[in-house]
């Protein structure tokens, strides 16, 4: 075996490992990003539910005030 062919196999293995590492990091970043998006959507849904509850309470109060004002007239 010559010196060139002896270096070919380790270099090719290192190159394949580097390519695999790049794709593994891309996959890991995509999975991490999707988890963050799910948490963000869940947080937004909870915030909307809280606002809906507040609006319902405000409507109830407003209806009570309107009823009181109609009785006063």
How do residues 2-41 score in pLDDT, each as one tens digit? 666 778 888 899 999 999 999 999 999 999 999 998 888 8
What are the DSSP calls for 29-54, one per residue?
Answer: HHHHHHHHHHHHHHHHHHHHHHHHHH
* Residues with Cβ within 8 Å of residue 13, at least 6 apart in sequence: none
Indicate the domain borders of the chain. Answer: 22-73
Tell me how far apart the alpha carbons of residues 19 and 7 are, in angstroms, rounded to a whole number.
18
Mean pLDDT calculated for residue range 62-73: 90
Tell me how far apart the alpha carbons of residues 39 and 43 are, in angstroms, rounded to a whole number.
6
pLDDT digits (tens, 9 = 90+) for 55-65: 999 999 999 99
Query: For 2, which DSSP code?
Result: -
pLDDT of 4 reads 66
């Amino acid at each position: 075996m010559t010196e060139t062919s002896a270096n070919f196999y380790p270099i090719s293995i290192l190159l394949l490992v580097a390519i695999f590492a790049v794709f593994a990091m891309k996959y890991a970043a995509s999975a991490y990003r999707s988890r963050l998006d799910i948490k963000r959507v869940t947080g937004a849904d909870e915030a909307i539910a809280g606002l809906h509850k507040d609006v319902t309470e405000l409507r109830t109060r407003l209806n009570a005030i309107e009823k009181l004002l109609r009785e006063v007239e």
